[in-house]
Amino acid sequence: MLRIQSSRTAPILVVIFSLLSAGLLPGCTGPSGDDDVLPDSVLALVLADLHLAGAELQFGALRDSLLLASIADGSEKASRDSVFEMHHLTEETFNQALEPYIEDPSRFVALYSRVLDRLNLQRRDLFQEVSELEER
């Protein structure tokens, strides 16, 4: 297993978050309608957590050279299920909540704007922590 030195952590994290951001740019959330299954803020949080869990899974698999094995053994589904469980959701409820956004591209773009905002805040906090560790 590859061990990452703290001085090498920042560039790796930049790559991960850059890839995440590039993949998320097409989408974001607007005002929530009364018929929505989940509020926009909750859905944005769940989506951000799903993207982070997926990135963590892929990074771990790449780091350990087990990408195909980890996908084949159901780790991706287990990762998604753990995010749903953390938010007290089922996959069916999550999919229902996404339906109005899929049908309205402008709402979908607005939703992912919130997701990106959340991920960028987490990235900023993470980089700040890495910088503080490197200064020690």
pLDDT tens-digit map of 86-129: 999 999 999 999 999 999 999 999 999 999 999 999 999 988 98
- pLDDT confidence of residue 59: 74
pLDDT range class, residue 13, cuts 50, 70, 90: very low
- pLDDT confidence of residue 118: 93
- pLDDT confidence of residue 68: 52
CA torsion sign for 105, 110, 96, 16 is positive
- CA 50 – CA 14 distance, rounded (Å): 19
Kindly list the domain boundaries of the chain, sorted by start residue: 38-127
pLDDT tens-digit map of 27-79: 333 444 445 678 999 999 999 999 998 888 777 655 555 545 545 456 788 88
